Structure 1
Amino acid sequence: MQVRLLIIACLLSLTGYSQKIEILKTGIKSSLRGLCVLNDNLIWTSGSGGTVGRSTDGGKTWEWNIVPGFEKREFRDIEAFDANTAIVIAIAEPGNILKTTDGGKTWNNVFTDTTKGVFMDAMDFADAKNGIVIGDPINDEVYLLTTKDGGNSWDKYRGSPIKAGKGEAFFAASGTNIIYHAKNKFTAVSGGMVSRILTPDNAIELPMVKGKETTGAYSLAVYKDQAAVVGGNYTSDTSTEGNCVLFKLSQPAAFRKPAVPPHGYRSGVEFITGGQLICCGTSGVDVSNDLGMHWTLISKESYNVVKRSKAGRTVILAGDGKIAKLVY
């Protein structure tokens, strides 16, 4: 039996190496952390220096804009709906949400929050109308905003307040720590001194590394009932301690840990197919061909975020000054 398991593990490792990362663009003067891949041609990205990029040909060519008045701000997440319409969130005080309807040429400030301590981390949309933003806790409550009109207006979340744990926060590393489901339901993951799965009804402790401001869950990916969480310790980015957890949405407390975890801290995770996953971080990129139980390192290059096309097969990665795609 042990020999058979070893053979299977080796085969999985070999198939992982057939996947590789291909650079699409370098030399970008921005740390890119927001990413939205609508189809195999249309890609939006955002990052530091008020930067937003758009490609309509699968990443071969790019249009770049620096939003006036936001040259020193960081757009840590972006959500796009078509070639013309997109939304970005600007972290830290004041918290801003901007929207474009002309392909990024001009931006309308649709929401501003000047509350002391406001820090928007991530955003997700269940459909073209209904979206959610999550931010670091204020007055010991998780910061949540929702929209019902495609991001034209935003309101405080109307569900029951969610109490934050001491030292609990949400990382603005890739804009992927919250999933907005239908009917105002969401699943989010946190980090810091504690690390939890949060839903409107439950808060469940995650078996991930925790106890420091830089530890915990950074990213969540969902495919039907399957969920994968990655993270670790940003300041120790080659450590594999508590950096990945697997579970089902229908059984959120029945955790599984990988037999071979990703090879370090990871800030982004995404399903390639129902059984294949990819994750990325500052110390490299890993893939798994068995629902996250065994991970193979395919690149030591640093990337912040990875996303699969919502209507296609393309998988795009973005990082500090560069954009790439997965060849598989």
Structure 2
Amino acid sequence: MRNTRRTGRTVAVGLCAAALAALTAAPAQAHGGQRPAPHWQLKDSGTDVRFRGLTAVSRDTAWLAGSKGTVLRTTDGGAHWRNVSPPGATDLEFRDIEAFDARHAVVLAIGEGEASRVFRTDDGGATWTESFRNTDAKAFYDCLTFFDRRHGLALSDPVDGRFRILSTSDGGRSWTVLPSAGMPAAQDGEAGFAASGQCLVASGPNDVWLATGGGARARVLHSADRGLTWTATDTPIPAGDPARGVFAVAFRDRTHGIAVGGDYRADQPSPQAAAVSRDGGRTWTPADRPPPAYRSGVTWLPHSRTAALAVGPTGTDLTTDGGRTWKTVDSGSYDTVDCAPDLGCWASGEKGRVARLEP
């Protein structure tokens, strides 16, 4: 088994290296024509809802969560999508989904009061169980993340001056509000952005990061004990307005992170839309050449120490130096992006848009 796992990882690393080389190199001549670089290939989702929730399980399997209570799943690389939405959910706004494989997934609906709910499926969406319904009118849940198949957290905007964290230790079957004593005070107007399912992300068994905006400073909060205690750090991404801040973070390990965001209003510039951390989020450095506009989603490419993709309404950007510089590689509109270990990278967004990165 050990040799088999090593061979699989070697193949994936090789695929990632080849994809990176093609993304960053000039088009090569092949048989008198140009060999196309890796690119997003649109898949027909069969709907026009907006998908801000996405999990890439593999090149074959992905889950989408979006408006009108919609959940879709593919197991054949996007050739066909099955509507596996929870019954009676058409009035809900799904903004995040965390899937463990083709059968097991947890989806979050956002909104004030009882509009914030969590559902879980163990049979590929054939049936769903509502495992949490918010009863606090002051709470508004934004994002989900899991450390492993059992342990996960959900994030609510501040309640009584502090961000609220919901915890599960049984794979999303039950949830408990964590004590707020270890959470720093929130700034006036500070909140999480339910824009891509990436305002709360985990890496490893204990570390988790929370991205904020809307306050005077755009911050990233870090916990090394699964959400019990937190430290807050300012980022150089512009804030000071309800539409500005950090919209998404991604950590490839407990040390190396990327934050993206800006101002989501189409008529407003986002001059510093990305930042980098090399110390687990304790400090953040602005990108030397950031994406040219607001970005709402970001993910590291599998098995790469330096490559990541960021997406937003005006395009996709690639970094090959750990987030210091970014290059626009696609102009299509996407809200979120995710990659699986086998280099199955997916993106989704408005008007039913979903795409897979093709070599």
Tell me, yes or no, whether TM beats 0.5. Answer: yes
**Equivalent residue for 2:10?**
none
Say which SS state the counterpart of residue 76 (structure 1) adopts: strand
Once residues 287 and 61 of structure 1 are traced to their aligned partners in structure 2, the CA distance between those partners, rounded to angstroms, is 28
Amino acid at match of 2:287: P
Once residues 36 and 132 of structure 1 are traced to their aligned partners in structure 2, the CA distance between those partners, rounded to angstroms, is 16
Once residues 285 and 237 of structure 1 are traced to their aligned partners in structure 2, the CA distance between those partners, rounded to angstroms, is 19
Deviations 1:225-274 (A, max 9, x none): 21000000000467332210001234621x32222211200000011122
Contact 1:16 1:298 in 2 (8 A): no
Contact 2:183 2:230 in 1 (8 A): no
**Equivalent residue for 1:4?**
none
Q: Does 1:122 align with 2:143?
A: yes
Q: Does 1:143 align with 2:173?
A: no
Amino acid at match of 1:57: D
Contact 2:237 2:286 in 1 (8 A): no
**Equivalent residue for 1:196?**
219
When normalised by structure 2's length, the TM-score is: 0.83
Decide which moves more: 163-172 or 26-35: 26-35
**Equivalent residue for 2:14?**
none
Once residues 324 and 120 of structure 1 are traced to their aligned partners in structure 2, the CA distance between those partners, rounded to angstroms, is 27
Contact 2:202 2:251 in 1 (8 A): no
Deviations 1:252-308 (A, max 9, x none): 21x322222112000000111221110001111111111122211122211000000
Amino acid at match of 1:165: Q
Contact 1:237 1:264 in 2 (8 A): no
| Alpha-carbon offset, residue 67 of structure 1 | 2.3
Amino acid at match of 1:126: F
| Alpha-carbon offset, residue 189 of structure 1 | 1.3
CA, structure 1 residues 249+145, in 2 after alignment: closer, same or farther (shift >3 Å)? farther
Question: After the TM superposition, which residues 125-274 of structure 1 pair with which residues of structure 2 at under 5 Å, given as runs?
Answer: 125-158=146-179, 160-182=182-204, 184-193=206-215, 194-199=217-222, 200-224=229-253, 225-236=255-266, 239-250=269-280, 252-253=282-283, 255-272=284-301, 273-274=304-305
Question: After the TM superposition, which residues 95-110 of structure 1 pair with which residues of structure 2 at under 5 Å, given as runs?
Answer: 95-110=116-131
Amino acid at match of 2:89: F
Identity over aligned residues, as a percent?
A: 31
Q: How many residues align?
A: 316
Once residues 129 and 227 of structure 1 are traced to their aligned partners in structure 2, the CA distance between those partners, rounded to angstroms, is 24
Once residues 44 and 261 of structure 2 are traced to their aligned partners in structure 1, the CA distance between those partners, rounded to angstroms, is 26
| Alpha-carbon offset, residue 100 of structure 1 | 1.1
Q: Does 1:302 align with 2:346?
A: no
Say which SS state the counterpart of residue 264 (structure 1) adopts: coil
RMSD: 2.1
| Alpha-carbon offset, residue 131 of structure 1 | 0.2
Decide which moves more: 229-238 or 115-124: 229-238
Once residues 299 and 182 of structure 1 are traced to their aligned partners in structure 2, the CA distance between those partners, rounded to angstroms, is 31
Deviations 1:159-213 (A, max 9, x none): 6233211110000000111123455442111111231111233111111111111
Amino acid at match of 2:150: K
Deviations 1:18-53 (A, max 9, x none): 342211225523110111111222211100000001
Contact 2:214 2:242 in 1 (8 A): yes
Contact 1:133 1:144 in 2 (8 A): yes
Once residues 153 and 285 of structure 1 are traced to their aligned partners in structure 2, the CA distance between those partners, rounded to angstroms, is 37
Say which SS state the counterpart of residue 302 (structure 1) adopts: coil
Structure number with the higher strand fraction is: 1
Decide which moves more: 59-68 or 219-228: 59-68
Decide which moves more: 26-35 or 237-246: 237-246
**Equivalent residue for 2:76?**
57
Q: Does 1:30 align with 2:49?
A: yes
**Equivalent residue for 2:65?**
46
Say which SS state the counterpart of residue 307 (structure 1) adopts: strand
Amino acid at match of 2:308: L
| Alpha-carbon offset, residue 14 of structure 1 | 5.0
Partner residue of 1:317 out of 347, 350, 358: 347
Contact 2:157 2:164 in 1 (8 A): yes
Once residues 312 and 14 of structure 1 are traced to their aligned partners in structure 2, the CA distance between those partners, rounded to angstroms, is 20
Contact 2:272 2:287 in 1 (8 A): no
Deviations 1:58-83 (A, max 9, x none): 22211013322210111100011222
